C-alpha cells in the first residue's frame, strides 16, 4: 500500500466534500487560528491520532504521538484505519482529532480539479478547501511525492537528469506506471503538456510495487513512476529526474487537525517535528519497517529519542 492507493480508492466521494462552505474557519485569526464558533481549542482531554493503512502513514502517526507526549499531551493512536475515504470522515465526525496528511493528495481529494502545485500556494488552497472545524498546520520539510526515475545506466546512455531531458528522446523510451498515470496530469498528460515528452509506449503496471520496479530493474521499461520515499530508489542507485517546471504537486507532510484540539502546545510540538524530519530520514524509517520488519511504533520512538524529541 502507498499514498496513491489511498487516493485511488476514494472514487466519487471526494466530490461530495463541501468545498465552498468552509472559508471562515479561523483563517484570519492570529492567535492560534484554531477556534471556531467561539469555543477555544484545547488538548487537555487528549488527542486521538488516526493513520491510514500504509507503513509511512503509521510511522508518521507514531512520530506525532511521540512529539505530543513529550509536550505533555495525552495521546491515543488508532493506526491502520484504512483509506482516506474512511479516515477523513472519521476526522470530521470527531472519532479522531489528528491525521498525518500529504498536501497534494489531500487537495486532490478535496478539489479533484485543482492544478496548484507549489507548496506555499497549496497550503493556502488547502486552508480554503477544508470544511469548517478542520485545518492544516504548517507543513514539514519531509515530502513523499510522485517522481519519475530511470536506472543509472539509462541516465548515462541518454544524458537524463531532468524531466525536460526526456523530450530529447521522444518516441524512444517506454514508461511504466499504474494505469491512471496514462490519463493523469501528473503523468503522461502533464509530461506532454509541460515538457513536450512523448513516450514510445505506456506499460500499465502497479503503483510503486513489485511489477513496476521489477520491470525497471530488468529494463522492460526505461522510466518508472515511483514515490520519493521509496527505499528501493537509493538501494538500486536509481536516478530521480528533477522537475524544473513544477509539474508534480508538492506533497509535503502536513498535519490535518480538528480545530478543537489545535492549541499552541500541539501546534508547536508538531511544527518542531516538521522542521526536524527530512525526506531521507522518513525513507530510512520506512525501510526499517518494510525491510527490517520492525514495529512502526518502535521505529518512531527510537527516532524521537535519538533526535531529542523525547528523553
**Where on the chain is the footprint of another protein (CB under 8 A)?**
8, 11-12, 176, 178-180, 182-184, 203-206, 210-211, 214-215, 218, 220-221
Instruction: Classify burial at 206, counting beta carbons within 10 Å of its beta carbon; exposed 0-12, middle 13-18, buried 19 or more.
Output: middle
Cβ neighbours for 28, distance < 8 A, ≥ 6 positions apart: none
- State the minimum distance, in angstroms, from the CB of residue 159 to another protein: 25
- Nearer Cβ to another protein (203/252): 203
Considering beta carbons, is residue 212 or 261 the nearer one to another protein?
Answer: 212
Nearer to another protein, 11 or 20 (CB): 11
- SS3 state of residue 100: strand
- C-alpha cell at position 21: 462552505
Judge contact between 23 and 119, C-beta under 8 A: no
How many Å separate Cα 49 from the centre of its chain? 16
In terms of CB distance, is 184 or 294 closer to another protein?
A: 184
Nearer to another protein, 221 or 282 (CB): 221
Question: Shortest approach of another protein to residue 182 CB, angstroms?
Answer: 7
Task: Report the distance separating Cα 282 and Cα 286, nearest Å.
Answer: 6
- What 8-state DSSP symbol labels residue 188? I
What's the rounded Cα separation, in Å, for the pair 196 and 29?
44
- Shortest CB 181 distance to another protein, Å: 8
CB of 125 to another protein, least distance (A): 21
| Cβ proximity to another protein, 179 vs 194, nearer residue | 179
Decide whether 133 or 209 has the Cβ nearer to another protein.
Answer: 209
The values of phi and psi at residue 50, to 5°, are -105, 155
Q: How near is the Cβ of 237 to another protein at its closest, in Å?
A: 20
Report the nearest approach of another protein to the CB of residue 183 (Å): 5
- Is there a contact between 138 and 45 (Cβ–Cβ < 8 Å)? no
Distance CA 202, CA 62 (A): 38
Smallest gap from residue 59 Cβ to another protein (A): 26
**Closest Cα partner for 98 from 285, 250, 262?**
262
174 SS3 class: strand
Q: Torsions phi, psi of 160, nearest 5?
A: -105, 125
- Between 1 and 179, whose beta carbon lies closer to another protein? 179
CA torsion sign for 200, 206, 208, 214 is negative
Q: How far is the CB of 130 from another protein (least distance, A)?
A: 22
C-alpha pair distances (Å), 106 with each of 8, 130, 146, 223: 12, 9, 14, 26
Amino acid at each position: 500500500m502507498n499514498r496513491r492507493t489511498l487516493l485511488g480508492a476514494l472514487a466519487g466521494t471526494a466530490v461530495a466534500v463541501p468545498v465552498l462552505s468552509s472559508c471562515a474557519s479561523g483563517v484570519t485569526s492570529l492567535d492560534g487560528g484554531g477556534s471556531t464558533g467561539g469555543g477555544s481549542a484545547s488538548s487537555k482531554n487528549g488527542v486521538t491520532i488516526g493513520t491510514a493503512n500504509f507503513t509511512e502513514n503509521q510511522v508518521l502517526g507514531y512520530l506525532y504521538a511521540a512529539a505530543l507526549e513529550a509536550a505533555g499531551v495525552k495521546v491515543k493512536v488508532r493506526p491502520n484505519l484504512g483509506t482516506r475515504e474512511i479516515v477523513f470522515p472519521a476526522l470530521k465526525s470527531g472519532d479522531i482529532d489528528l491525521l498525518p496528511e500529504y498536501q497534494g493528495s489531500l487537495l486532490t481529494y478535496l478539489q479533484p480539479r485543482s492544478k496548484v502545485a507549489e507548496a506555499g500556494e497549496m497550503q493556502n488552497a488547502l486552508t480554503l478547501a477544508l470544511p469548517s472545524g478542520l485545518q492544516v498546520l504548517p507543513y514539514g520539510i519531509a515530502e513523499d511525492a510522485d517522481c519519475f526515475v530511470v536506472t543509472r545506466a539509462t541516465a548515462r546512455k541518454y544524458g537524463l537528469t531532468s524531466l525536460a531531458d526526456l523530450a530529447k528522446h521522444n518516441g524512444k523510451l517506454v514508461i511504466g506506471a499504474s494505469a491512471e498515470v496514462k490519463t493523469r496530469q501528473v503523468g503522461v498528460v502533464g509530461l506532454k503538456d509541460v515538457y513536450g515528452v512523448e513516450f514510445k509506449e505506456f506499460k500499465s503496471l502497479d503503483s510503486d510495487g513489485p511489477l513496476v520496479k521489477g520491470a525497471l530493474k530488468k529494463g522492460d521499461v526505461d522510466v518508472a513512476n515511483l514515490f520519493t520515499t521509496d527505499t528501493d530508489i537509493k538501494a538500486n542507485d536509481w536516478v530521480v529526474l528533477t522537475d524544473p517546471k513544477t509539474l508534480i504537486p508538492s506533497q509535503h507532510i502536513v498535519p490535518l487537525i480538528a480545530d478543537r484540539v489545535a492549541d499552541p502546545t500541539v501546534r508547536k510540538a508538531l511544527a518542531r517535528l516538521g522542521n526536524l524530519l527530512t525526506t531521507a530520514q522518513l525513507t530510512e524509517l520506512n525501510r526499517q519497517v518494510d525491510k527490517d520488519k520492525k514495529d512502526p511504533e518502535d521505529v518512531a520512538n527510537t527516532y524521537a529519542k535519538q533526535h531529542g524529541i523525547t528523553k
